[in-house]
Structure 1
Amino acid sequence: MGAIDQLIGLVRDCVVQVRGTTDNGGDGGFRGSGFFIAQDTVLTCAHVAGDAGDRVTVRWRGRGIDGVVRRASPRAGRSRIAPYPDLALVTVSPQWQHPVVLLDDHLPNSGTTLAVAGHAQNYGSEIVGVDGRFTFGGLNDRMIRLNGDEITPGMSGAPVLDGATGGVCAVTKATRTVHQPAGGGVAVPVRGLRHLLDCTSSRTLWDNHDRYHRCNRRWTNLADRLPPPDGGIDRATERELIATTMRLPADPQPQRHLATYHRIAGPVTPEPQHPLRDYRDVVSELAVLVDPAESLPYPLTYAIDLARVAEPSDVADQLRWWVVRVAARLGLSDQVEATLAHPPDGEPPPPRPTPSVMVCIRPVTRTSSRYRYMIWRYLDETDAPQVAADQRPAPLERVYQRLRELLPDLVEQTAGGEHPTMIEFIVPFELMDEAVDRWPVEPGSSRSIGFGLRHPVVVRALDRFDASPGTGRYWRWERRWGALDGRDMAAALRPLACTERPSPEQMTAMLQPDDALAALLLLPYPVRHPAAKVVLDAGVAEGVPVMVWRRRGCTGAPDRPHDTCRGRQLHVAVRDALRDTRREEVPERVRRIRYTAVIGGDDDHCGNDIVLLWDDPGRRPTGSVLVSPNERRHLHA
């Protein structure tokens, strides 16, 4: 029996059934598959296991044991479609000595043979073990496309073995999608766990996983017998590097891992599609990049970089020894010695985006007076997990009440580092004047201040937020945002006169010729004014990314002077605040206008009611939605 056949046997022995419980009237029925990834820890799909805190029964080798869902990504709302990553971790009572799969935090190479082992219900009611053979068919968004055998209901949550590396690289999620050949399906890569776990939880899980395989070498020994890749660093050598880096203390600012990745891989390297929580994540991402033609392989450069600053010193010595051994094997000893002797001048890492709490309020229908909300914690382009949601339609005031209760803790928990956490409200036109900046940071406290004094608060256009990349609306938005890059925002300001009443055609004609000229609009009148709706509608449609107005703006009466009116006051305050300001700094400058109003004690100051629409197209929480075999029936019911 070859190594790959033995590995498939090891995978089968780690697979479990995930079932409901009979508590509180539950039916205890079969839900899907899962598998052990650490002692007493099962990985499966969220749509199989349920929400965090739910109880399930895990069956392994014919025996059942109680389990609790410890972590789970948000499940589907009324649509019954589970968003990415659709993963859950189940903890079982410590009664069994069981095997653990060898996880592989890499995507398969093109055409790689993959194997799936899970459970399914046969033509009767019996639950049986099933296997499938597939090839890697590329990516469907961030999902692995499986081409080959059929994915049947019950296989959701089953492990996917990479035949080239000998590790489990993914979790089976769904049957085949549209435009996919007959048979097959999709799977969530193991690196999707990075969306489920914070740095501390991720390190704990991987420590437990790695400890098992240090003590039980059968799986890694079989994997190491598989043919190695042509050149480069093999998986066993990469595991040695990861084991050494994990002796380093966790970085108290994990966002620096992304900055390090950019510094090592270069500024033109595509962004990782998953967060970088720890050193091992950086190694995994760098290991799959094509080695630079005239430089060291990226993992070698990273190990050298870590060795220069590593504490304790014995870890630094281990990193240097790893570098020397690998360089000798690859014929790069002279180049490595020169690099170690003459460290390059450090380049400053790219600036980190401002972290934020994103709140989306969406009407049930365009004419509905009932709403739903979703909340994300945005840290960067690859790390914007959903942290709260309520898909039950509710009156607007009830939604606002719930958000006032949730926001203080969510904002406090979103570390801002050198920047205060921003609050982004993604809302339809009619909700843009809600005074979120005046909601109390500490509800119930007599000394509580409004969010707008402590944090930048912006609104964003729901219609544009829903635009898909590649569409005309998204392209115009992205183009105008790009036109602001590096510009002085005061020079980009286009104020409208209080008495201007442009028609939709006039607004469109004004905005189209010059992207940069009309990248920042200032409206003198309040959003409820008929002229404001024309300007906002045209601005959103034509991609204007920044607009400013007052909730109590000038009404534009033609028989009154407007040299000192509220619209003129807003123009002067915004123009002065934005001098020598870049586009990323606008929310903070508007926050300063707000606290200038409080310091001056002027009730009519524009800082008391200023509204900023600030729409960066790069700040979008992402999520893939695919239909699992168990979910499909709900879509056709």
Structure 2
Amino acid sequence: MPETSTRLAQLTWAATVHFTADLPGVPPLWGSGFFVAPGWLLTCAHVLRGRVRSGSDKAFLVRGDGFNGGEPARARLVESLYDLDAEGRIPEAGDLALVRLLDDDIGHECVWLADWSEQPAGNARVVHGYIPEGPEGTGRGKSWSGTADVDVHEGDYGRRFEEDIRFLPGLSGGPVLDPAGGAVVGVMKARRETGPGGLAIAIHALRGFQERYQEVMEAHDTWHHAQGKHAHGTGDDWIAEQSGLPGAGHSYDANLWTPEDRRQALGLLAALPVPEAPVAVTTLSKLAHPRRRVKEPPLPRAWRDGHGELYDGSRPLRAGTFLSYLGLVQRIAESHGADARELADWVERRGDGVSDGERGGERGGAPVSLPPVLLPNDEPGDGPVPYPGPGEGAVVILELERLEGERLSYDWTIRIDDGDEDSGFPVDYERDRSGVSAEDLIHRLSGPLADAFAQLDLDGRPAPLEIALDIGEFDTAVHRWQIHQQANLNEQELKQLLGVRRPVVLRHLERRGVSDDEWTKRWSAAHAARAVTPRRVPPPGGRFRKQQVTGMGAGEIPVLCRSAGDDIGREVLRAALDAGHGIALWHIEGHPGARCRKGCDALHEFAVSEFAEAAGAAELPDRIRRIRERISARDVAHPAEAVALLYDDPRRPVPGDTEVYDSPS
């Protein structure tokens, strides 16, 4: 078990504190916490629950042996990931709270928070915190530390300690140090009531604060970057201690990424505007190291998080990989108008001596092309956005599979396809014997869909949603779903219906995991055609014949004024799918009887007009979305309000259902 250096322990203790009520005398100790940035403290939410209410400005005291000369300072709760007024056990993902000093002029030490996201089980950890000197939480806080191995990862954030050490009351909220990496990797959460052992929260759960996380980590990296200018060569800071640990890179080998490199890189990244969305971070880290699979959760929120994906455990990859990532971030930042010259200059200087072939993010020695979806949209006007093809942008895929039985219920799976070879793995799903009832479906899917969109949505460019259904479910009005019932005043667009905010298209579930020549041939022809032409099927006053869909030419799209649930509509759509059509438009409410109505002509006239203006088939999904947006804004009836669009790309079929799902009995 590695030992913690004396100076590393001192640095950790200097940033570790405990909380009490703002009362005279020696009030009971609540729990521990630690400074992560100037003025910012991190602790567990349950340390404050019952003592501070959510949204309260109530002040309380911060005390520490190495803080403020031992004198208490006043602080307040800024944000908690969990409602402190709620009851019940707080899960690991929500048991964090950010606290801020009321006096910004008090100087103090800050811990170094690990940026690497993979933390192998079995590594030793050192827990720091305070325990009360007296019984039942009374008496002054007394410093305590202990070393234990993490032997189990519980879920995404839980880290369980081996049962070889007894943790004491008061330690919750204290920092968990990785002595091998020289960084804080967790927050102490709980001890076992009946014996040795305990549970910590992985530090990347901090990303759940989202925008606040970006603010705090910018302050963290900026502070440590500035410390390097003051402590360089003195051996008296976190980076100097990390540099002396086994496995640290050495400055005499340019191909090794050193702790000082990390400090410089993260400080320079902190000076840039934050990423538009998590997908910007994951995309660039994959470009820098294509063989690296970015693991989720948690969603990356800052450029430092992409830097943290370029590790093997806590060991950094080669320097060229990091320099490639930094160069990609620089190019993205500059494309959005940011000044990244300082980062660019440092990357150029640091690249001297790095071996040829060490850099990722290059193809044949030249920088890779940046994904267009991450670049600002400089196209003139406000025209329809073409639907992304493979590698052109990420999409969310929702599979709804109806279960057999009298009760209308579904299994569901959510996937993200971002063009990477690992795309399509389920990010969330629900499969059991009873399924989710139709009445509960939107409620059950709201959170998982919102999480998936949060990963991919860029400013002004929400990611498309693809729904894979059996043909019998093609009339499901997913475009009318609303997954956000509430939103901040500056985020009212979140309350829009799905089909108003983002392109929503349908895919055929039976095509899952397969493609065929006829489907591919028709798709290619439709997208190569100069004009997209709607064909009314069946023709007015006529009967349906299969030849009407099998005989369609390049760029001709079946359009139906009937629903998929109608006998004729279902027959037409089945024949179109069998003939290899990947694009079709129909009215999900249709009309009764064999004869068309007045509204049928209006629907087909709309299709002729809208398709004629399209520059290609790839514009159709966004054209439909824009029409829905106009309908929603003007509150007027329109034949397109109840249409569904099949847009089923054979170049990236819905992934095959190769995974085994089961619910524990």
TM-score range, shorter chain: 0.5 to 0.7
**Is the Cα–Cα contact under 8 Å of residues 225 and 264 in structure 2 kept in the other structure?**
no
Aligned-partner Cα distance in 1 for 2:476–2:328 = 52
Q: 1:483 to 1:419 in 2, by over 3 A?
A: farther
The corresponding residue for 1:288 is 312
Residues 1:51 and 2:49 are matched in the alignment: no
**Is the Cα–Cα contact under 8 Å of residues 561 and 591 in structure 2 kept in the other structure?**
no
Q: 1:594 to 1:202 in 2, by over 3 A?
A: same
Query: Which SS does the other structure have where 2:219 is aligned?
Result: helix
Residues 1:266 and 2:290 are matched in the alignment: yes
Offset at residue 163 of structure 1 (A): 1.0
**Is the Cα–Cα contact under 8 Å of residues 67 and 92 in structure 1 kept in the other structure?**
yes
Quick one: which of 138, 151, 167 aligns to 1:137? 151
Q: 1:227 to 1:602 in 2, by over 3 A?
A: closer
Offset at residue 608 of structure 1 (A): 3.5
- 1:6-27 CA distances to partner (integer Å, 9 max, x unpaired)? 423432332222345679xxx9
Offset at residue 269 of structure 1 (A): 2.4
The corresponding residue for 1:301 is 324
Residues 1:324 and 2:340 are matched in the alignment: no
The corresponding residue for 1:346 is 368
Residues 1:92 and 2:108 are matched in the alignment: no
The corresponding residue for 1:456 is 502
The corresponding residue for 1:8 is 9
The corresponding residue for 1:236 is 259
The corresponding residue for 1:226 is 245
The corresponding residue for 2:640 is 607
**Is the Cα–Cα contact under 8 Å of residues 247 and 315 in structure 2 kept in the other structure?**
no
Q: 1:237 to 1:75 in 2, by over 3 A?
A: same
The corresponding residue for 1:69 is 77
**Is the Cα–Cα contact under 8 Å of residues 54 and 80 in structure 2 kept in the other structure?**
yes
Aligned-partner Cα distance in 1 for 2:631–2:262 = 57
Give, as a single letter, the amino acid of the residue that structure 2 aligns with 1:287.
Y
- 1:375-403 CA distances to partner (integer Å, 9 max, x unpaired)? xxxx9999x9xxxxxxxxxxx9xxx9xx9
The corresponding residue for 1:507 is none
Query: Which SS does the other structure have where 1:211 is aligned?
Result: helix
Aligned-partner Cα distance in 1 for 2:486–2:10 = 58
- 1:461-487 CA distances to partner (integer Å, 9 max, x unpaired)? xxxxxxxxxxxxxxx999966669997
**Is the Cα–Cα contact under 8 Å of residues 593 and 607 in structure 1 kept in the other structure?**
yes
Aligned-partner Cα distance in 2 for 1:123–1:299 = 51
The corresponding residue for 1:165 is 181
The corresponding residue for 1:513 is none
Give, as a single letter, the amino acid of the residue that structure 1 aligns with 2:78.
R
Aligned-partner Cα distance in 1 for 2:10–2:56 = 32
Aligned-partner Cα distance in 2 for 1:296–1:144 = 31
- 1:334-370 CA distances to partner (integer Å, 9 max, x unpaired)? 55699999842524534444799x9xxxxxxxxxxxx
Give, as a single letter, the amino acid of the residue that structure 2 aligns with 1:10.
L
- 1:478-524 CA distances to partner (integer Å, 9 max, x unpaired)? 99666699975999xxxx99xxxxxxxxxxxxxxxxxxxxxxxx996
Q: 1:598 to 1:39 in 2, by over 3 A?
A: closer
Q: 1:573 to 1:29 in 2, by over 3 A?
A: farther
Q: 1:247 to 1:190 in 2, by over 3 A?
A: closer
Greater relative contact order, per chain length (Cα 8 Å cut-off, separation 6+): 1
Offset at residue 272 of structure 1 (A): 5.2
Aligned-partner Cα distance in 2 for 1:554–1:524 = 4
The corresponding residue for 1:419 is 461
- Paired residues in the alignment total 486
Q: 1:451 to 1:12 in 2, by over 3 A?
A: same
- 1:300-351 CA distances to partner (integer Å, 9 max, x unpaired)? 43356568898665643332222225x3xxxx3x556999998425245344
Q: 1:213 to 1:86 in 2, by over 3 A?
A: farther
Q: Percent identity?
A: 19
- 1:184-212 CA distances to partner (integer Å, 9 max, x unpaired)? 31322246337433545542343134434
Aligned-partner Cα distance in 1 for 2:636–2:331 = 55
Aligned-partner Cα distance in 1 for 2:316–2:35 = 37
**Is the Cα–Cα contact under 8 Å of residues 248 and 259 in structure 2 kept in the other structure?**
no
Aligned-partner Cα distance in 1 for 2:636–2:7 = 77
Structural mapping, 1:141-156, within 5 Å: 141-148=155-162, 149-156=165-172
Offset at residue 262 of structure 1 (A): 2.0
Give, as a single letter, the amino acid of the residue that structure 1 aligns with 2:344.
A
Offset at residue 35 of structure 1 (A): 0.5
Aligned-partner Cα distance in 2 for 1:600–1:555 = 25
**Is the Cα–Cα contact under 8 Å of residues 19 and 56 in structure 1 kept in the other structure?**
no
**Is the Cα–Cα contact under 8 Å of residues 22 and 61 in structure 2 kept in the other structure?**
no
**Is the Cα–Cα contact under 8 Å of residues 396 and 466 in structure 2 kept in the other structure?**
no
Give, as a single letter, the amino acid of the residue that structure 1 aligns with 2:282.
L
**Is the Cα–Cα contact under 8 Å of residues 526 and 555 in structure 1 kept in the other structure?**
no
Query: Over aligned residue pairs, what C-alpha RMSD do you find?
Result: 6.3
Give, as a single letter, the amino acid of the residue that structure 1 aligns with 2:72.
G
**Is the Cα–Cα contact under 8 Å of residues 37 and 209 in structure 1 kept in the other structure?**
no
Aligned-partner Cα distance in 1 for 2:47–2:245 = 33
Give, as a single letter, the amino acid of the residue that structure 2 aligns with 1:302.
Y
